[in-house]
Chain A
Amino acid sequence: MNRIWLHHFGKALVRGASDFGARSDPPTHPLLLDYLARRFVAEGWSIKRLHRQMVLTSTYQQSSILDVERQEQDPENRLVWRMNPKRLEWEVIRDALLFVGGGIADQIGGRPVQLLEQPFSRRRTIYGFIDRQKLPAVYRMFDLASPDQTTAQRHKTLVPQQALFLMNSDFVVEQARALANRSEVVRQISAKDKVRKLYELVFSRQPEAIELAAAVESLGAHPGDNVALLDHLAQVLLMTNEFIYVE
């Protein structure tokens, strides 16, 4: 119960996700934890029902945008006055990059695939091959759990190597190019329309005036003269906080 809550809400009801003993903090919501546990048993131990129950709550559906006043009253968000900011995990980042690049494979099941070798697999990251003895450094950079230990909760770090992956990896550059070359974008004639389409594909919204102006400016005086600039812009959008955080 506690761990499922953790994975939906970002923080568990008993903060130490795998320790309910004398050394753990008491639950933030003891009655809720008991209620969920009792209902879980009463409804036939269905984890699927439990997921549904949690994600249908208005608590789950809150935005994660910070409220300064409430932040002062409850800086740890123990009372869940907002959704905890949710940074995409490594698997989701890679899948999202493939998705906006237009090339993610929707195949289900099958043998694991190498994810970091060229040509890059388009399969979802969950199908990636994991060599316990030789876990690629990039997985660790993005806080993948150690395959040698049980892990209740992944670490959540912010290090420059994560930025370097988005800036310089062949994989990300390939997805940025694919995004800029999607027919929906290519079809647009004006720089403004190309930017608008990129925003739609990446953020599912229209750019604000400031964003539109900055993005169009980055494409140079004569858009089309330098197609690489559109690739660069596409990559910038994939590096933004907006792309990496769920609100």
Chain B
Amino acid sequence: MASRNDATTSATPSPADLIAGRAAHARSIAGPLLTRRELLCRSGMGFASLGLATLMAPTAPATAASSPASSGSPFATRPPHFPGKAKHVIHLFMNGGPSQVDTFDPKPALQKYHGQMLPTENLQTESMTAGAMGSPFKFRKHGQSGIEVSELYPRVAECIDDICVIRSMFTELPNHEPSLMMMNCGESRLVRPSLGSWLTYGLGSENENLPGFVAMCPGGYPIKSVQNWQSAFLPGVYQGTYIDTKQTDINKLIEYIDTRHVSRQDQRRQLDLLGLLNRHHLERRNREAELEARIQTFELASNMQLAAADAFDINQEPQSIRDQYGEGEQARQILMARRLVERGVRFVQIWHGPSQPWDNHHDLETKHRQLAGESDQAIAALLRDLKSRGLLDETLVIWGGEFGRTPTVQIPSTEDKAPNGRDHNPYGFTVWLAGGGVQGGQIYGATDDFGFRAVEQPMHVHDLHATILHLMGFDHTRLTYRYAGRDFRLTDVSGQVIHDLLA
């Protein structure tokens, strides 16, 4: 399935490129010398080491106060191409692939054909599928918009007027790995930076004391593990920081966050000396970007010690808020996401669980009911909570998986299994957006009568990415990074901003 092309890749580096990172990098990574300001910014108590810095850079130009980019941190806030509506993203990743026809895309025709072959040919998916499988879940209209939502999401349904349901998503390949890569990195095969990495690269973070991009998954990694939040050729600091939200003890959530062996003051001295020795080493190695990135991790780690304990501690929330989100891992990590966003973290990706919990080839009814039940209350609470704090306008909430599921029943791999699940479906699936400049209470696009293929206003993952970047203030064709001889972008040579989604 070919995606639409646009041929408007700009040939010359745009000012936006400079804003979006190169200028900052020119100073922070490739910058030839430490200015006094950079040095002071980096070393909390570093006056004592000024003499040594002068030794290291005897020809330092006197430009201490001249450059706005001289905070020198890759996480410094940078303006996008134009003022974006959204400043933060919370991506609720239903890994494994939730079924659209059981959640947000009702298909009464499936009930009619339940147990029989569809009048149209089954599209080819990973495994063989047979006849239609009517949804075991009841749909009902909700809100003023009257959008139908299944009984799996009763609380989310109450927020439907804030939600834009995209029913016409499609992607290319019927397997988890390439589809995860497509959804996260805009390329199913080659190693490319993830959406969260692009956004932290483009915008920096509003809180340099926390990682700009946090990936949370309770109890392990999803399929493709850390590749889902990789920074690829972007500097290493822009990759997602993984947090195992199964841990309830904050000191274990981020291990070794606790400074037990030295006083904070002594540790600061250690880090100042470390920075000095590392920079001296770096200068003699032509400022190798990876070495610079590793230097940054120590500064980030030091700041994280102070900020993280606070940010991840949901016990600081009043009981009333905790009650709204409910119990369990999903509630806990979704509430954490709100605390992180509130503190300026750019991109929080929340994975439902390790491996691929939503991949229900069998027992779909039981498993989908359980999975949706685990997060329904918390997702609704998140939307309400963000709204009441005035944060929903600037926070884009995304719900979806890497693809959807077939409307037809999967033929079980062994005879002892009942035919009661659905196969992967890249031809048509649902993703919904809320907040962040998205017009809620609307449905965009449609799948065919059975929910197999997106037929009205089909929207490729590249289009979703282009639209997300637009909401964040970026022209997706101009948020680029020069690597191996050409400018790369998240949407490569594809993608269209879908203006119908915007408020």
Contact = CB atoms under 8 A, between A and B. Distances in A.
Nearest to A137: B255
Contact of A214 (B52, B282, B295): B52
Contact of B286 (A68, A155, A213): A68
Contacts of B270: 167, 232, 235-236, 239
Interface in A182-228: 208, 210-211, 213-215, 217-218, 228
A36 interface: no
Contacts of B312: none
Given A157-B236, A164-B256, A167-B298, A241 B281 contact: yes
Contact of B305 (A66, A164, A215, A236): A164
Nearest to A72: B485
A141 B304 CA distance: 15
A65 interface: yes
A79 interface: no
B290 A158 contact: yes
Contact of B274 (A155, A217, A239, A245): A239
Contacts of B290: 85, 87, 158
A109 interface: no
Nearest to A140: B242
A240 B276 contact: no
Contact of B237 (A65, A143, A158, A213): A158
Contact of A211 (B277, B287, B483): B277
Interface of A: 23, 65-68, 71, 75-76, 85, 87, 137-138, 140-141, 143, 146, 155, 157-165, 167-170, 173, 208, 210-211, 213-215, 217-218, 228, 232-233, 235-237, 239-242, 244-245
Contact of A163 (B252, B282, B298): B298
B286 A65 contact: yes
Contact of B267 (A66, A159, A167, A169): A167
Contacts of A237: 277
Contacts, number: 147
Size bin of chain B's contact surface: 35 or more
B140 to A, nearest CB: 41
A239 B287 CA distance: 18
Given A213-B52, A240-B281, A160 B211 contact: yes
Given A168-B260, A232-B270, 19 more contacts: A66-B286, A66-B287, A68-B286, A75-B484, A87-B294, A137-B255, A158-B290, A164-B301, A167-B259, A167-B271, A167-B301, A168-B261, A208-B280, A211-B277, A214-B273, A215-B277, A232-B269, A239-B298, A245-B291
A87 to B, nearest CB: 7
Contacts of A66: 285-288
Contacts of A76: 484
Interface stretch (B13-21, B79-87, B224-232, B344-352): B224-232
Interface in B222-256: 225-227, 230, 236-237, 239, 241-242, 244, 252, 254-256
Contacts of B256: 138, 161, 164-165, 167-169
